[in-house]
Structure 1
Amino acid sequence: MNSNPFLSIVIPTYNRVDFLDYCLEVHIPLAKVHNIPIFVSDNASTDTTGEVVKRRIIEYPLIQYHRNETNLGFDGNFECALKYPQTDYVWLLGDTYQIPPDGIDYVLKLITANKKKYEAIIFNVADRVIDIPQQDYTDQNQLLSDLGWHMTCLSSLVYSSKLITNADFERYKNTDLVQTGVIFESIANRSFLIHWVENLSVKSIKIKDLVKKSWQARTIEIWAEKWPNLILSLPPSYKLDIKIKCIKEHGIKTQTFTLMGLLKLRSENILNFKTYKNYSKIFPLATDLSNITILIISFLPSTILKFIRALKKKTHV
């Protein structure tokens, strides 16, 4: 079976064998249509990830599996995953996401139907309201302003092999957001072409009784500290006012740092007085809510909030 030279799917994973198995189940039929190779980059999982993937390889021989000897962290594993394929384009897919049924067809037609050389292709994400028409971007500040916050979702990103080859992965290690940083670093101060797809969306995989847990406990650290640090560290050709807009838009558009989002974080005890103290000086970068408001939320009884959330969820079932 000859693999498609134009596009591959790479799936970085760590200790989420149930999600990964379902992810492969969903994507193997889509990949088979065009012989799309699938690469699984296992970040030294301690569960049965390897066994499950090997069973899936029997079903679809174009799956390749690699297990890191040690855990390289999010960024290190993403770099490994992106560098494995030899295809013209690489779709970076989280193990808890699924691509749209027409997504592969769309990419293949886009990259073969004309002579345009795209650095990256950005897909929409289900349940996000992005009122930006489909278009090609050639201005780095416009891209950061419109979609910078959205490009943190790794599963929405398709990279060209050229961008991967030239990306400065080392510069963005330990940011937990290397997938975003390398794109904006790469296109700074030069001509580029990036395509935005409005009408096709990746979406989260929903499996009853399974909850995606990996980075949730670090929500405040990542989005109140690491995210602002990454954006502010981008080259000076990105305008400061657009950088600040981009930082805050993530908290608003994903509802991480809205009033309801912070109440949710408090109900899970992710936001408490300790975390408030740790991040109080940098909260103003990530949210328009005042520190007084965040402080008050941090003292609310988390058990009561959790009960209210559970009750509300139950009444909507």
Structure 2
Amino acid sequence: MVGRRCSYAKKKICIVIPTYGRKDTIDSYLDKIENELKFFSIDLIVFDSSPDDETKNVTEAHIKKGFSNIFYKRYMGKDVIDSLDFKLIAAYSLFSEMYEYIWICRDGLIINLSKSVDKINCAIENKFDIIFIDNYSRDVHSIRDQKYTDSRKLLHDWGMNMITLGCIVFRGDYVQKIIERIPVDDKTYSLWQMIAPFIYSANIKINATSIIGDIFTYNTQKKLQHFGIVLEKLFGNGENGILM
């Protein structure tokens, strides 16, 4: 369980992994990242909406091995087939009370902390509101690390990449302002995290940066992603795929 910290005791950053019915994938994920989490003193929260306790049990088994900066939190809110919007907003609302920055990443991407933590810490020290993060292999125009004050330029450079869950780190109080101003509606549904920041900042300067490197590797578990599992239950023919 994740406890509440006072605002003056906020930690710098947490990684949040939303998941549903993927205990083997979470087990694999934690196996691959837990030593780096401990070494760099970074918290990771498994944010689970599974209908059973299997993911919880797997997570707690890793915690019992001495990885005390791994946490389990059950999501009890609205869960819909074709959107993670409500789950993401709940995560930002909950965890921005405890952390300065929130990094939500899908369970199919392993974060290479040893190759990214120095740049991320630098971005945090500079108090960027939005930190865009991606691999060299997806930087097709060789943009590399940039600072942004114009949201249109950020959207032009990285808009399509931002669909991938894991490529945006938000400063907690900034994303709270977005949540208050930009609801899930017909304009933002199923892509709230990508679209809402640009609606919010359309007529104001932003304070953002991009970090490009060997940031992610794939979690090689071949399990259905969140939507695939729900669709399989409904229709009986879910397919393996990538949750973007």
Query: Which TM-score band applies after superposition, normalised by the shorter structure?
Result: 0.7 to 0.9
- Residues 95, 217 of structure 1: alpha-carbon distance in 2 compared, 3 angstrom cutoff: closer
Larger radius of gyration: 1
Q: TM-score, normalised by structure 2?
A: 0.77
- Please, which of 68, 73, 84 is the counterpart of residue 61 of structure 1? 68
Question: Which residue type is aligned with residue 206 of structure 1?
Answer: T
Q: CA deviation at 1:205?
A: 1.3
Superposed structure 1 runs of 4+ greater than 4 Å apart = none
Question: Separation in 2 of the partners of 1:67 and 1:80?
Answer: 11
Secondary structure, aligned partner of 2:131: strand
Q: Which has the higher strand share?
A: 2
Q: CA deviation at 1:6?
A: 1.0
Q: Which residue of 2 aligns with 1:157?
A: 168
Secondary structure, aligned partner of 2:144: coil
Question: Separation in 2 of the partners of 1:182 and 1:24?
Answer: 30
Q: Which residue of 2 aligns with 1:103?
A: 116
**Structure 2: which 5+ runs fail to align?**
231-238
* Number of aligned positions between the proteins: 214
- Superposed counterparts of 1:1-317, under 5 Å: 5-46=11-52, 48-59=54-65, 60-69=67-76, 72-73=79-80, 74-85=84-95, 86-100=98-112, 101-112=114-125, 116-125=126-135, 127-131=137-141, 132-168=143-179, 171-172=183-184, 175-207=189-221, 210-215=222-227
Question: Separation in 2 of the partners of 1:213 and 1:89?
Answer: 26
Identical counterparts, % of pairs: 23
Q: Which residue of 2 aligns with 1:293?
A: none
Question: Separation in 1 of the partners of 2:51 and 2:109?
Answer: 19
Q: CA deviation at 1:4?
A: 7.6
- Residues 172, 212 of structure 1: alpha-carbon distance in 2 compared, 3 angstrom cutoff: same
Q: CA deviation at 1:47?
A: 6.1
Question: Separation in 1 of the partners of 2:78 and 2:55?
Answer: 14
Q: Is the contact between residue 146 and residue 211 of structure 2 (CA under 8 Å) also seen in structure 1?
A: yes
Q: 1 or 2 for the larger relative contact order (CA 8 Å, sep ≥6)?
A: 2
- Residues 70, 147 of structure 1: alpha-carbon distance in 2 compared, 3 angstrom cutoff: closer
Q: Which residue of 2 aligns with 1:230?
A: none
**Structure 1: which 5+ runs fail to align?**
219-267, 271-317
- Residues 48, 216 of structure 1: alpha-carbon distance in 2 compared, 3 angstrom cutoff: closer
Q: CA deviation at 1:217?
A: 9.7
C-alpha deviations, 1:108-160, integer Å up to 9, x for none?
13322xxx321111111364242213101111111111111111111111111
Q: Is the contact between residue 131 and residue 169 of structure 2 (CA under 8 Å) also seen in structure 1?
A: yes
